[in-house]
Amino acid sequence: MTNPFETAVKQLEEAAGIAKLDKNKIEQLKSPDRYVEVSIPIIMDSGEQKIFKGFRSQHNNARGAYKGGIRYHQDVNLDEVRALSFWMSFKNAVINVPFGGGKGGIIVNPKELSISELEKLSRGWVQKMYRILGPEVDVPAPDVNTTGQIMDWMVDEYKKITGDEKSLAVFTGKPVGKGGSLGREEATGFGGFYVFEEAVKHHQIQPGAKIVVQGFGNVSTFFAKMAFEKGYKVVALSDSKGGIVNMDGLDFNKVLEHKKASGGLKDFSGSKNITNEELLELEADVLAPAALENVLTESNANKIKACLIVELANGPTTKEADKIFEEKNISVIPDILANSGGVCVSYYEWYQNMNNEIWNKEQVLEKLEKQIKLAFADVLAAKEKYKTTYRNGAYILAATRIMEKMTP
Ligand code: NAD
């Protein structure tokens, strides 16, 4: 098993070597500023006490408050949280929001908890962590298995303990109406599409090009909906049970109706059922993995036909697959750019909370489109300057932006 933190550091070293970045500052970026581990005792519904382990990794705050989600999962561990906090620093710098990088978690399978146990645990995390949080210190958000409801409990607990008038701005991803921002739901998928639209201008991709999307969740559906509405052929979609393909294009709205009615994608009229593995290797122009990490590996990279890969998921491409794509001249738009729309709107949420403003959805999406397109242009400029990949271009850009703000 590759250690995710080592992978993250290797990515940085490669980019730093290409652009000959300051060695001392790169060394500093290789480890988080602070890492906190806490024990959270909870009285369960049965009356028994259970102790859960919670984490927060604060990677770097040179550009602003540490920012990143809290993950509830039975496999959360030190290396994963450190790596994720590292990636958040770089993602926030690429999209140019004034935040650093953080990530947290609790070792728990939330499906095994009742609602009241989940609430106690979430409030317990804040009781143990509040000293290192704050609207201009560290701003968590939802991640795997954490929701707007959980953020709402956390805001309430933080406010009870600290009395801070700006408590709403300490957590993003809150429900709309409880301080959350309109447009957050669509942000990552739409942001990915804006990036894709910019990329198309630099590749041999024609209107009506064939796009394969892996996933049918939050990010993938908003991306596919936009692509379909703009006249691209979304030829394949999938969920955890498998995928569907029609090389003439799927009608996105009808697929959505079918999924709602049947609970899955399988057997959609006019399409063929395929596996998730077959889906990745289809004869298409663009591949957008939007489900899981490590789906493009050295065992299937040589079989990928697309000339452009848009990494909507976090970490869908292994290092080995990346090298193969580079040799085959397949362009990969990296996750830290392609899925940065979500954190961009989280920044808008924080900004609205800090300034007592409420923006409408059009305002949010218009700003998002501009900011994402600017980030693409900046990454492209770095890529071209150093004659390298989009991924290295994005890391060079982000590292340079972070290092500019670091005191020696
Ligand atoms: P989601 O849970 O809404 O959707 C995930 C999709 O993946 C679902 O359709 C699910 O059926 C599918 N899936 C699950 N297991 C699968 C398998 N074994 N094979 C194929 N498909 C499978 O999640 P999401 O929010 O859309 O996130 C998708 C990816 O995007 C993740 O990597 C996430 O970290 C990343 N991401 C999400 C956001 C966001 O704002 N939601 C932001 C940045 C990055």
The Cα–Cα gap between 99 and 1 comes to 31
Other Cβ atoms within 10 Å of 72 Cβ, number: 27
Active site residue 385: no
Asked whether the beta carbons of 224 and 234 are under 8 A apart, the reply is: yes
Query: Hunting for tokens 């910019």 — which residue is that?
Result: 198
> CB burial class (10 A; 0-12, 13-18, 19+) of residue 171?
buried
| φ, ψ of residue 256 in degrees (nearest 5) | -60, -45
Residue at 136: amino acid letter: E
The Cα–Cα gap between 393 and 333 comes to 10
| Residue of minimum CA distance from atom 22 in ligand 1 | 240
The strand order across the sheet containing 233-239 reads 272-274, 242-245, 233-239, 210-214, 286-289, 308-310, 331-333
- Identify which of 281, 392, 275 has the alpha carbon closest to the alpha carbon of residue 326: 392
**Residues forming a β-bridge with 134:** 138
How confident is the model over 234-264, as pLDDT tens digits?
999 999 999 999 999 999 999 999 999 999 9
Asked whether the beta carbons of 239 and 256 are under 8 A apart, the reply is: no
> Which two three-digit tokens encode residue 292?
């899981």
For domain 185-338, is the CATH number 3.40.50.720?
yes
Nearest ligand 1 atom, CA 314: 32
239 Cβ closer than 6 Å to some ligand 1 atom = yes
The Cα–Cα gap between 6 and 129 comes to 26
Predicted pLDDT at 137:
98
Q: Which of 25, 67, 103, 120 is labelled catalytic?
A: 103
> Which two three-digit tokens encode residue 182?
């309109």
DSSP class per residue in 240-290: TTEEEE-TT---HHHHHHHHHHHSSSTT-TT-EEE-HHHHHTSS-SEEEE-
| Average pLDDT of the segment spanning 151-178 | 98
Predicted pLDDT at 394:
98
186 Cβ closer than 6 Å to some ligand 1 atom = no
Distance between Cα 215 and ligand 1 center (Å): 6
Asked whether the beta carbons of 316 and 241 are under 8 A apart, the reply is: no
How confident is the model over 326-361, as pLDDT tens digits?
999 999 999 999 999 999 999 999 999 999 999 999
Distance between Cα 29 and ligand 1 center (Å): 28
Query: Hunting for tokens 């796009």 — which residue is that?
Result: 211
Name the CATH superfamily housing domain 32-168. Answer: Leucine Dehydrogenase, chain A, domain 1 (3.40.50.10860)
Other Cβ atoms within 10 Å of 297 Cβ, number: 14
| Average pLDDT of the segment spanning 108-121 | 97
Evaluate the CA torsion angle 364, 216, 318, 328 in order and state its sign.
Answer: negative
Does the predicted model carry a pTM greater than 0.85? yes
| Average pLDDT of the segment spanning 26-55 | 97
Predicted pLDDT at 367:
98
In the chain, the percentage of residues whose pLDDT exceeds 90 is 93
3-state secondary structure of 68: strand
Predicted pLDDT at 1:
57
310 Cβ closer than 6 Å to some ligand 1 atom = no
> Which two three-digit tokens encode residue 172?
């993003």
The strand order across the sheet containing 138-142 reads 34-43, 49-60, 101-107, 66-73, 138-142
Cα distance from N-terminal residue to C-terminal residue, the chain: 35
Distance between Cα 218 and ligand 1 center (Å): 7
The Cα–Cα gap between 237 and 225 comes to 11
In the chain, the percentage of residues whose pLDDT exceeds 70 is 100
- Identify which of 329, 408, 322 has the alpha carbon closest to the alpha carbon of residue 15: 322
The domain locations on the chain are 32-168, 185-338
* H-type alpha helices, 95-177: 115-129, 148-162
For residue 184, pLDDT over 80 is answered with: yes
The Cα–Cα gap between 198 and 380 comes to 10
Predicted pLDDT at 59:
98
> Which two three-digit tokens encode residue 228?
């379909």
Query: Hunting for tokens 């290192």 — which residue is that?
Result: 132
365 Cβ closer than 6 Å to some ligand 1 atom = no
CA distances from 172 to 69, 83, 169, 295 (A): 9, 21, 7, 29
| φ, ψ of residue 41 in degrees (nearest 5) | -85, 130
